[in-house]
Amino acid sequence: MGLVRSFPSAGSTVRGVPVFALANRIVLWAVFLTLALVCVYPMIWLFLNAFKTTNDMFAATWGLPKVWHWENFSKAWNYGISRYLLNSLIVTTATVAIELTLATMAAYALVVLDFRAKAVIYILILGGAILPPEVSLLPLFRVMAATGLYNTYFALILPNVAFGLPFTTFLIRAYMTGIPGELREAALMDGAREGRIFREIYLPLCRPVLASAGLISAMRVWNEFIFALTFVESETVKTVTIGVMSFAVALRADWGVLMAGLALSILPILATFLVMQRQFVGGLTSGAVK
Q: Among 112, 205, 219, 229, which residue interacts with other proteins (rule: CB under 8 A)?
A: 205
Which among 6-14, 15-23, 186-194, 266-274 is the span making contact with other proteins, rule CB under 8 A?
Answer: 186-194
Point out which residues pair with 14 in neighbouring strands. Answer: 17
CB of residue 120 vs other proteins: minimum separation in angstroms? Answer: 19
Q: Report if residue 113 touches other proteins, rule: CB under 8 A.
A: no
Query: Considering the rule CB under 8 A, would residue 199 count as an interface residue with other proteins?
Result: no
CA gap 202, 104 in Å, rounded:
9
Q: How far apart are CA 214 and CA 276, in angstroms?
A: 10
Segment holding 215, helix H or strand E: helix 207-222
> Given the rule CB under 8 A, which of 26-34, 70-78, 195-203, 268-276 is the region that contacts other proteins?
195-203
Type of residue numbered 242: I
**Among 119, 189, 274, 289, interactor with other proteins by CB under 8 A:** 189
Cβ 184 to other proteins shortest distance, Å: 9
In 3D, which of 226, 216, 210 has the Cα closest to residue 105? 210
The answer to the question of residue 196 lying near other proteins (CB under 8 A) is yes
Region near other proteins per CB under 8 A, out of 163-171, 179-187, 212-220, 253-261: 179-187
Q: How far apart are CA 137 and CA 139, in angstroms?
A: 6
Contacting other proteins (CB under 8 A), which of 188, 248, 267, 271?
A: 188
148: left (phi over 0), alpha (psi -120 to 50) or beta: left
d(CA 79, CA 228): 20
Tell which one of 16, 139, 191, 195 touches other proteins (CB under 8 A): 191
Residue 187 as a binder of other proteins (CB under 8 A): the answer is yes
Measure the CA–CA gap between 156 and 73, rounded to whole angstroms. 27
Q: Contact positions toward other proteins, by CB under 8 A?
A: 180, 182-183, 185-192, 196, 200-201, 204-205
